[in-house]
Structure 1
Amino acid sequence: MRKNFLTIIVMIWMMAMSLPTHSEAAIADGTYSLNYQVNQPGSNSASMANDYFLKPAKLVVKNGKMTMQITIKNSSWMTQFNPPGGAKVIGSNESTDQRTVQFSVADANVITIAMKIDIDDIDYHHAYSVDFVFDRSGLPEAPVEEPKEEPKQETTPVQQQPAQPAAPVEPPKSSSGSNTSSNKPATSTDSKVTTTESSQQTQATKDDSTETEKNTTDTEQAEQSEVVENPETSDELPIVALVVFIIAAIVFVRTKQTKTNG
């Protein structure tokens, strides 16, 4: 039996965890009056502390941040009032034994607050926590802001500035005095004349070398032509040829006579 009971509890807890949670919409900026009830922790039943507070509460919303203001009756009895983040006293009235406290809230729906009650006349001293359940029905919702599209930045091509011509270089000024002519810097005309003279001298040297080479070549060609046109001849060549011819003729004649006689 006990095992079945635990199983049912676990199943109920799992079903509760699987239910979708609905987030409350944001409240628009402004100041609102909220009715509320102080309940026992985790219950819909009102607590005895419900009679210790004035109704309604004041809710201030600014830039999405919410601040709650509540007035406590029998302020001397409530020695501690500790909402999450702490509370600040913004007003008090000793004649009516009331004080108004202010504290920040993240959810204007249910807030659990710890408190302590000390009543010396009846020797009652008790600390406990209660749930402040607020009725936020009818509160305007904050408008949903759509993300703004950032404008596209167009890049402007950088125009290149034309290059400025270089400033002309001024020639140095000649110094005054007796040494004016000797202190003048050499001009470009003098440099050109000197360069031209050097070029002419170099060209003259090249011409002399060319003429010398040409004369040498002519001399060599003349010597070669003389060798070809006047070869050395021998005066004895015609005589030797004549003697050989005569001997051959004699041998031929004798040979023929011998063949005839035989």
Structure 2
Amino acid sequence: MSVPGMLFKILEDLIDDDLKTFQWFLTLKPPVLDNCKRIAKSQVVNLSREDTVSRIIESYGEASAVNLTIEILRKMNMNDAAEKLKKTYAGAVNDESLQLTCLVSFLSLFTCVFIDSLHLYIFICRRKYSCNSNLPFLVVMPCLISVCYQMSNVDKFKWYLNMSIVDGCKPIPTSKLEEANQQRTVNVMIESYREAPAVNLTVEILRKMNMNNAAEELQKTYAGDEFFKLSESPKSVSFLSLFTSSMCQCPIPKMS
């Protein structure tokens, strides 16, 4: 049940005189709770139950509105109602926390699967095109996007793109990057420089941003070192051999 629904259920059980008493407590000075400023009498007089709920949530937010309601109910000697509201709200918070935990776990799992799939795809591309060739566009783009999402300050990264810090990479105009998200930023880089220079420029910018681990990881990924090491792993060699033996028969688009 939502917080407005919980509070309305409580007020719905009050008789009219008790509702007026509840509203009177909202106007007391000093307030019932220190962190909840009093509401002016003119703002609560003759309010319906629905409007009273809306008023206290607008004034205090949902969590504080619940705590204030519990405290007022206790002052009105309605301890059973106060305890009921407390338990109902605690249960709702726990349910929401559980849902959030499940969502975070799912996203973490999805991210791991995505990264593993990307690693495997890059490995296949390396086997297909040989270690010395450039990675295809469809591999470079997700690599760079993944790096951009690791940045806490994408605007700083875009600022460096406006500068000329690598020979052969002209500055990208601010107008092209001003409102660009991570994916659009990568698109602009590849359109401006092509795949290999875009990777090299990103590595240099990461170093200037003191993201040396990310720079090293991207450099190794593009060079293919990490994925040839993967093929030497006893746990993965049989799977990779089986998978790549079939997948390498399929054409992989080379867009660069």
TM-score class normalised by the smaller sequence: under 0.3
Relative to total residues, which structure has the larger helix share, 1 or 2?
2
Higher relative contact order (CA 8 A, sep 6+): 2
Bigger Rg, which one: 1
